[in-house]
Structure 1
């Protein structure tokens, strides 16, 4: 215990010695660090390479790599200190900070980079900067050797940083350069005082004309009108159709005649003895529902946190928060999966528990490894470091799996025995032939259209943000769209379930899940359209990256919406059969 004061003092000294970009406060003459990040083609922003993979150089002033967070490492963010001498509020005239000896191969690499519009990124005080490697005019190709930084400040804080490039150096024709020649790289810095407050310093990076366009409000109105329409449809089913059926039952002599009446009726009343039968592949459905509930909670938590805390201000903060929130909500997935499995008297609980704990992490791991091999093949920074892989595996082994197991044990032991309104017949009732549009495949295919129609405009904004340099910040819009997506999905699941039961088909468990989750197929179809018409992406890696992670998004959306739909259908079925209880 006597060492605690000394350790506390050492910790304070260490925190004081850290780069001031962490506190965003500087004293006059204090060092301002310029970080070089990645470089890659502007049209293929996900195809990023280490900055020094091109024949650039850094200064000799304490050059080191920055330790990235887990999210930054997974996104391929690699920061290297530029080694230039920048002091707060001290201008720097044009100064050479390094010299690069270029070979013929270096010149050829630079020519190819300029022709492919290579774009490099930098950071100063966590503010992003970017510039092209060079410029091409016909056969004349040149690259920039000078960078000028205009840094705006207020009091002891940096508000804006602007970069301009200059001093173009013409590159010789490919294969005709001298074996080695020396290229000096220079920089200059100007500090300018501003009255803009520190809280607004990211406003210049936010494309308000794009994200706050009236079309965004139109998407909200479109979703809201669809919610009203589907609510009206559900109300029509619940109030008119079912109420009329119940009134007919009440007019009969009594409950003793109910079996005789049901034998003479058609529709949803006929399947009262099979509607609460355990669904096929109960283990898989339970694992899907448990994972889906966890993803619903995760999505709401991330969106609300982003709304409250402006998480877009820090690199990869959302990804890092998502990983740890998923890990610590694993208890919930285990509990819900066990509750679902036990409610239908499932027996093989060990398999269900392992499936719940492993399905989503295994899906993510498969996609990430496929993309990782593609990244390694081109030596991209998008390749996940081995240390990050070990960290993710450790999180699953030490947090996700134990919490899922604990949640499953609690759910299994505290779930009440099934008490369904209707007795389950020992022999399943045959399912009659139906019209084509009441077939399960047709219901599943058509049901996903309505939720997709409520979000497809917002999808465009999300895709534009993720696949371009735009920063997505309108999380209030996203939250409203998400809420209405959940409501539309629930209504569609109820209508689909009623249509299915009314045609004497009792297989509502999987149909409600699949019909709600089929929205993910429409999202994937839209992603193909977006890839072909809205992007300039090309190449094996870019295509693998795009469709790999879009596919992962769609799997998560399938589980999330499928769970919402199954929950709504379960409540609907329990409600309508409550007055048709058979002794």
Structure 2
């Protein structure tokens, strides 16, 4: 137990060191500086909501200003689409240069953007999107437009990415929906570093957007700007009344809007204001920190999660060390003493009978006398002739283990790159892009481990195993995503993967990953021997006695999986909040996640060892698949947590959005279960080989 405490202390010190990188990142965007009056492009990206899983390109919405293609902003022209990396495409980004004109340090109290004539159908869609709480994302100098907030004690300021498309007024009997058609842009800047600053150039350190709704009855000047921005009384309501000459305007306004397109339109005038404010309190390399104030304030909860994980892992470590240092070693010693005694008493008689000189058959009979010496020994020692018997459907287990190692390599790489700041929010789409790249490259590890396990199970056709390994998990994953993508396409969402991107993913899969799986399998099968087992397997399998209720199938998986889930469930709250509620995808505390992920893998390994040992002590040799299922058992609890989070924390509306949530959650839990199941299997395999050696 003392050794267990020492190990836990080492993990705790390691956690303290690693968690210091949770607020550090390497700025990926190039350091840009601007001369006075230099044009600064404003990029339109997308709209997203906490209440739905569908995102849309902002420039494609029918009720907003379309880029004209006439405004030149430096090297860019309005309407020009910005090239995106794979991660940006998969996360639903669709970036386009807008007609909004900015020039460094030039304030513009009001500028006219456009006037849009919107049909009744488009007004209905705008009303629905406002009801769903959609947020808008614009980009300036790689910063997303943010809504600024101040803490309750006014001690600090923080940002929330995005700004509201509109708002809902519930003060009257019928809900009224208003569209924000004026945007006040605040650019915060400071003097650039070094020679650039000496030359009068500036660097942008903040981008804030404050939207406002301005009604049709607001007095405007010749430039279509409100004459008095401070006295706006009515907003722009998304409502086109029914055209009937016998009703007053108030009666028309209180009527439900007809569902037919009668040619009526709503005139929407878009304007914007620009203000530049110098801010010396924020350095350029720390300009993203305001987006993560809330996550940093939750550091106490993160430390609670680390402490909870350390306690659980310390207890498990103590149990495993007790098994290895006391129970197993004691049982092995007793077994050897018993065998030695039996051999000593019968050696002389057998030698006189000449049994040792009569060939291999007689020698095998003699060796079986050692087995007879173990017959009165209970527990796992009775299974020495069956414990390494090839499992049923081992041809499927081997590819799953290979795919699990592929996912493990990808996950470890992503967490490390993120924890040390290489992948960060300033590198938009970098996390997904690197994830796909690491997954494809890790095909060589998938092929290697799959081939080694397949050869150990006695497989002969390693090329067939290559095909199964390369297609089974990636094919199922691609099939799920492709079917979902068809439904998302039907909703014209930017979340839908373009056809050309699908072709690129298939090319990566078949032209790069498949050859890497082949190379890894060839090396693992032809150049490396099968893992040797310390005991010989008998021809006739031993009958498994009746098992206790907690050792039967799914019950064991659920009970054992509860412990690794207890290690991560606190941190899951932050991860889910980043994934499902903050659609900007900003998650910054990868230092904590790295520590908890490491403790998770350790707990999975230890729980699987304990579960397999208990199963072997119950004289059940069917442990191969069970170890894999026990290792991945916490995935069931994670999916149950997803269900709880859906009903208790989210406000997703609509059947299709709910279907997307549960499908994505199922895929994520399947990936998690495959990874942890592989860790459990390999750990149990090493443990069983060790105790039977």
Q: TM-score, normalised by structure 2?
A: 0.77
1:397-408 maps to which residues of 2 (within 5 A)? 397-408=510-521
Contact 1:28–1:89 (Cα < 8 Å) also in 2: yes
Pairing partner for 1:88 from 104, 109, 115: 104
Is 2:606 the counterpart of 1:484?
no
Moved more, 257-266 or 405-414: 257-266
* Aligned equivalent of 2:492: 379
RMSD: 2.0
Question: For each residue in 1:521-563, what CA deviation from the matched residue of structure 2 results, as whole angstroms up to 9, or x when unmatched?
Answer: 1111110010111100121332122112111111111111111
Offset, 1:160:
0.2
Match of 2:425 in 1: 312
Any idea what the Cα deviations from partners look like across 1:234-274, whole Å, max 9, x if unmatched?
Answer: 11211221122122134333584632221122211111001
SS of the aligned residue for 2:390 comes to: coil
Equivalent of 1:176 in 231, 242, 245: 242
2:55 to 44, 48, 53: 48
2:550 aligned with 1:437:
yes
Distance 1:366 1:497 in 2: 34
Structure 2 unmatched ranges of 5 or more: 1-27, 72-76, 146-161, 192-201, 216-235, 244-262, 344-368
Residue matched to 1:145: 181
Query: Residues 211 and 474 of structure 1 are in contact (CA less than 8 Å); yes or no, is this contact kept in structure 2?
Result: no
* Alpha-carbon shift at residue 410 of structure 1 (Å): 0.8
CA distance in 2, matches of 1:465, 1:301: 20
Q: Residues 209 and 372 (structure 1 numbering): CA distance in 2 closer, same or farther, change over 3 Å?
A: closer
| 1:58 and 1:84 in contact (8 A); partners too | no
- What's the counterpart of residue 24 of structure 1? 32
The correspondence of residues 420-435 of structure 1 with structure 2, limited to 5 A, is 420-435=533-548
Q: C-alpha deviations, 1:291-311, integer Å up to 9, x for none?
A: 111111111110000111242
Residues 329-368 of structure 1 mapped to structure 2, 5 A cutoff: 329-368=442-481
Q: Residue deviations 1:467-514, cap 9 Å, x none?
A: 122721000110111111111111111111111111111111111111
SS in 2 for 1:43: coil
Q: Is the 8 A contact 2:167 2:177 kept in 1?
A: yes
What SS does the aligned partner of 1:573 have? helix
Q: Aligned runs of 1:450-489 on 2, under 5 Å?
A: 450-469=563-582, 471-489=586-604
In the alignment, which residue of structure 1 is the partner of 2:322? 236
Alignment of 1:74-85 (within 5 A): 74-85=90-101
CA distance, structure 1, for counterparts of residue 660 and residue 482 of structure 2: 11
Give the stretch that moved more between structures: 472-481 or 161-170. Answer: 161-170
Question: In structure 1, how many angstroms separate the alpha carbons of the residues matched to 2:530 and 2:483?
Answer: 44
Q: 1:433 to 1:132 in 2, by over 3 A?
A: same
Select the residue among 256, 280, 287 that pairs with 2:392.
Answer: 280
1-side partners of 2:395 and 2:86: how far apart?
Answer: 33
- Secondary structure at 1:450's aligned position in 2? helix
The 5 Å alignment of 1:226-305 reads 226-252=312-338, 253-254=340-341, 256=343, 258-305=370-417
Q: Alpha-carbon deviations, 1:122-149, whole Å to 9, x = none?
A: 1111111222222332344432221111
The residue matched to 2:39 in structure 1 has which SS? coil
Which residue is equivalent to 2:158?
none
* Distance in 1 (alpha carbons) for counterparts of 2:329 and 2:67: 80
Change (3 A) 1:533 1:412: same
Distance (Å, rounded) in 2 between the aligned partners of 1:133 and 1:216: 33
Conserved? CA contact 1:142–1:168, under 8 Å: no
Number of the residue aligned with 2:190: 154
Distance 2:692 2:214 in 1: 78
State the secondary structure of the residue aligned to 1:121.
Answer: strand
Distance 1:227 1:34 in 2: 50
Decide which moves more: 337-346 or 254-263. Answer: 254-263
Q: Deviations over 1:337-378 (max 9, x none)?
A: 111111232123222211111122112212212321221232
1:391, distance to aligned residue in structure 2 (A): 0.7
CA distance in 2, matches of 1:40, 1:533: 21
Instruction: For residue 79 of structure 1, report the CA deviation from its aligned partner.
Output: 1.4
Among 161, 164, 172, the residue aligned to 1:132: 164
Tell me the CA shift for residue 417 of structure 1.
4.2
Aligned to 2:87: 71
Instruction: Give me the whole-angstrom Cα distance separating, in 1, the residues matched to 2:41 and 2:341.
Output: 84
Q: Distance in 1 between matches of 2:517 and 2:485?
A: 27
- Give a deviation string over 1:443-476, Cα, whole Å, max 9, x none: 2221111111111111111001111227210001
1:381 positional shift = 1.3
Please tell me whether residue 185 in structure 1 is matched to residue 265 in structure 2: no
Contact conserved, 1:267 with 1:503, CA < 8 A, in 2?
A: yes
Partner in structure 2 of residue 573 of structure 1: 688
Is it true that 1:104 corresponds to 2:128 in the alignment? no
Q: Counterparts of 1:193-208 in structure 2 under 5 Å? A: 193-195=278-280, 196-208=282-294
Contact 1:108 1:174 in 2 (8 A): no
Determine which structure has more spread, i.e. the larger CA radius of gyration. 2
Tell me which of 293, 309, 312 is aligned to 1:223.
309
Could you tell me how far apart the structure 1 residues matched to 2:61 and 2:651 are? 23
Q: CA deviation at 1:210?
A: 6.2
How far apart in 1 are the matches of 2:342 and 2:38?
86
Give 1:115 deviation, angstroms. Answer: 3.3
Q: Is the 8 A contact 1:306 1:312 kept in 2?
A: no
Given that 1:339 and 1:411 are in contact with CA atoms closer than 8 Å, whether structure 2 keeps it comes out as yes
Distance 1:266 1:78, change over 3 A: same
